[in-house]
Structure formats: structure tokens, C-alpha cells
A and B are shown apart, each in its own frame.
Chain A
């Protein structure tokens, strides 16, 4: 709340009125109000921009939505034949997310546990900095490095696994047809896993660190080993937060574009072959936007809209999980 200027004493001359209105208005109030307006406008900018994003992209994608209707989800992408179903890309987006989470979550939880429960105090900060460095590396550099240095070794690994498992009934569906170039769901998924690890680690670490000391002491006091204490006190306390962190990681994985574009191999049909090529909503836009016109272009923009809806949806779910879980457990500080 703004505070009024202090009353002037008798022997001081009245200061010249400043700002608009003059006369009885206390000095400086106009700038104060102006500042408030500017700040509020800056805050509202967020709403404006988000609204604009939703509006212009949908508007430009409308021809596609209109032409395909529910066919937008069809698995029949073929621009040459005027077919623009995005089903394979939606599938690819989720598959990459799944692979990335399966690899990243155990590692992230492990690092978070390491920092909060196992590592000696002094090493904690350096470890956190080191993990955060992973986040600082631009996506395009990850893509370049993986393309040049990992692709071929991974291709060899895939073909070994593929031949080794060619007899196992369900598994062989996943491992068949390995890409000779190494460009595949799995390669892209591994790199995305590396990229989302810092954020999942950071959020999980924060949640673990809020485990109340009395809860830990209760477990130790009963003769628990450290691992038993983690399972008995830290994990149950952190469930909601970890789920939320995982969902935020999923949101990042879904939106990851450039590294995926370089590593996924560009194939637009739904396939269960993890070692084979595919495409995601984000990567196909990056790779094909330059050449696209008409409905083709509208389709790519439309996939951007779907991507937007997915990431916003996942983000809101993440928020919802935390609040619901906290309420249910009657979490006290």
C-alpha cells in the first residue's frame, strides 16, 4: 500500500506540485501509479502472448483440421498423395517420451537420493552443478554429437540385440529391423533421456529434501538401515512430488525438437520397432517445414497445435497431482 508523504512542518515552503493535476496532489503519486500500470501490463503480456500463440497457430492450421476432421489422428502421412494424418507422429511423440522416462527416471531418482541422503555434505553442491551442466548444453549440440559419435556404435548394438532376441516371442517385435544408420526411436530416446535428467533430478531432489527430520529419525530409531529409512520415510513422503517431477520431465521430452529431428530417422508410419526410424510431432515440423505449402504447411502447423495442447495438458496434470496428493495425505509441514 502506498504511504502518504509526511506532513510538512510550518516553516517549510510548500513544494511545487509535481505530476499531473498539481495543486493538492502529493508529489510522486503519478509516477507511482504509472509504474503500477506498466508492471501490470507486463504481467498481462503473458496472457496476451499465450492467447496469441493459441490463436494464430490454430488459425493457420485450420485448413488442415477442416479438411481432415478426425482424420488428423490417422496413420497415413503421405504428402505426395495429399494424405496428412498425424497418427504416426503422435505415436512417435509418446514413444520417445516413454523411452526417455524409462531411462531417465531411475537415474534421476538415484542422483537425487545420492545428493540428499548418501553424499557427504561438501560434495553436494559440486554434484548439483555438474548435473545442471547437462541442462546447459544446447539441444543441437546433443544432436550433432550423437549423430557423429553415438550413431554407429549404437547401430552395432542394435543389430546385435536384434539377432540375439530374434527368437523370443514378444521381444522380437520390438527389436526387429534395426536401422543400419542407427537413426531410430531408441537413439533419439536415449538422447532425450539425457536431456531431461537434470530437470527431473532437480525437482526430485527438492522433494526428497523436504522429508521431515522427525520422520527419518522415527525410522532410524526403530533400527532401519539407510535404505530401509529411504523406503519407509522418504519415498512415501515424496510420492506426489516425484510423480509431478516425472510428468514435467515428460512434458520436456514431448517438446524436444532438434536432437530428435537429427536422430530419429524420419519415417511416418506407426511401428513397434524401437531400433527403427520414426518421427515425432516436433521433429517432423523441424525437418519438413521448409518445403511445405498449402495443406501440407497447415498440417505441420496443426501438429504444432497438437503439441501445444499436449504439453500444456501434461503440465497441468503435473500441478494437479501435487495438490491432490498433498491434500490426501494430510501433509503437515
Chain B
């Protein structure tokens, strides 16, 4: 049983007395941590979050608390705002023309969209892995070193930083002899793990994953799911997934989104239900959730 100490998220102290080998289903980690609600350390608090593209609402009424070192999954049919909400968590909408974010997003109690907040610093702390692996057309080494370099880490530390990041992403053994080869020569699954390593290299405390396995084959997918299990010990993970079973397998809490047609006839996404994963999948509160997970609509 992991002992989760209340420390600032930047310092990772995890005393793990039970070694869980990757791939082995550990019932303890599949079940929610047994902290009562008030003691959960909250990384994100979303209150009445609404996001609009060029004035048109894409998703609204999102109220979610994401706790530290948990995996939170966003599920739901296409076009209901899961990715839109995810991208608001690291202010990626700043660079999307026409996108506006309304409501509140708190990160460790601070307003993520406050006036003095530096969005570059936000994205260093809240990392992102994208749907399709997007390594830079550089060497494996330089892909991972990119982030630390712009953050001013010393050249002399770089090899260690790269090695540690690749190890955490479970890729080190496969690439340690070809760090100087182009990243584009790796397989899809390896590229995605490289992207994870790249994100980890800047020492974030959150990892946002936007359907990270949708472009990968089942074996590569399984490896990444195992990786997420390990990463969960040190990082908070929020994952958008189309794959319900994946959410059920890996996440601690799940948020189910759906799309409605508003008065103007346009699709608007909304949060339907957000709960501990096991409960959401076995005894959902909302009939729409039940409809989705039993496959009545998809």
C-alpha cells in the first residue's frame, strides 16, 4: 500500500512498500485510495468551466477535482469536449485562435489563468503528450534534452537528465545505444514513449495525455498503460481516451462527457458524471453514463 505523504507536489517522496511489477494487475492500485474526500490533495479544481471557439460554446458546466498522483480519465463520444477541457489545463488554448476560457481553473489553489501567470511556466509544470507522437526531427537525445535546455539546465547535467527521463519512460534500454539516431526512426510506440520521456525531462508534476494510444497497436498500447501505472506514483495523470476499457483498467476516477444540441442547433459538450472509476462503471448515477458504457450509444 503506497503511503502518500502530504508534500508539495514538486518533491516526490514515495515510500512504496509493495513492489508492483508492471503488467501484473494489482487490486490495490485499481481501487481508489482510501483517503476521505477532504484529505485528497487537489491538483486541479475546475469550477463552471466553459470553453468557446469564436464565441460558440464547445463545452460547458465542467466541475471536476483532480487529485494528486491519481489517474483521471475523460471519456465520452467524439466531439463532446474532452480534449478541449484537457487542453485548458495547460493553457494550450492560448495559442488557438478564437478560443476563450471561462470559469475557474485552479492549480494547487492558484488561478491558472491569473494575470501574472506565465503560460510557458504553466506548460513546464503541466506536461502534455499528444494523440499522434510528434517527436522533433532531431536525434533521440536532443528530443529529450530540448526541454531541459530551454529551462537552463547545465550542459554537463544533460546526459544524466536524458538517461533518467528515458528510464522513467521505460525506453532507456531500447535506445541507449542509439541516442544519436533520428527520433523519426523509432516505431510508433517507441516514439510515443519518447514523447513521454521528453515531457518528463522538464520535471512536471502533471502529465496530460490526449488519447496517447489511439495511433498505436495493442501491444504498444499495453506498454504505455503499464507505464502509466508506474508514472502514477510520482505524477498526476489526466488522460482523454476513446477506449472505455482503457479507462476502466487504468484510471482512479473517470469523468464522462456527452454532447447536447443547444437551441441554435449546435453541438455543445458537457460533463455528465464524475466519480470513482469503479463506481462509475458498475453503478453509474446518470442514465446517459449507463447508456454509453453499456454500448447503447457510442
Contacts and interface: CB of A to CB of B under 8 A. Distances in A.
Interface of A: 121, 212, 214-225, 228, 232-233, 236-237, 329-332
11 contacts: A218-B135, A220-B95, A221-B90, A221-B128, A221-B130, A222-B146, A222-B147, A223-B120, A225-B120, A329-B137, A330-B182
A210 to B, nearest CB: 13
B97 A121 contact: yes
B182 to A, nearest CB: 7
A279 B172 CA distance: 62
Contact of B120 (A224, A233, A237, A329): A224
A221 B202 CA distance: 11
A332 B138 CA distance: 13
Interface residues of B, number: 29
B81 interface: no
B127 interface: yes
A204 to B, nearest CB: 19
B130 A236 contact: no
Given A121-B97, A223-B202, A330-B184, A218 B195 contact: yes
A215 B120 contact: no
Nearest to B121: A223
Nearest to B91: A220
Contact of A236 (B120, B136, B195, B202): B136
Contacts of B137: 215, 236-237, 329-331
B122 interface: yes
A232 B136 contact: yes
A214 B134 contact: yes
Contacts of A223: 120-125, 147, 150-151, 202
A229 to B, nearest CB: 9
Interface in B115-146: 120-125, 127-128, 130, 132, 134-138, 146
Contacts of A121: 97
B198 interface: yes
Nearest to A233: B136
A232 B97 CA distance: 21
Nearest to A224: B150
B123 A222 contact: yes
Given A222-B146, A236-B138, 7 more contacts: A212-B134, A217-B130, A218-B198, A221-B90, A223-B123, A233-B136, A330-B184
B105 interface: no
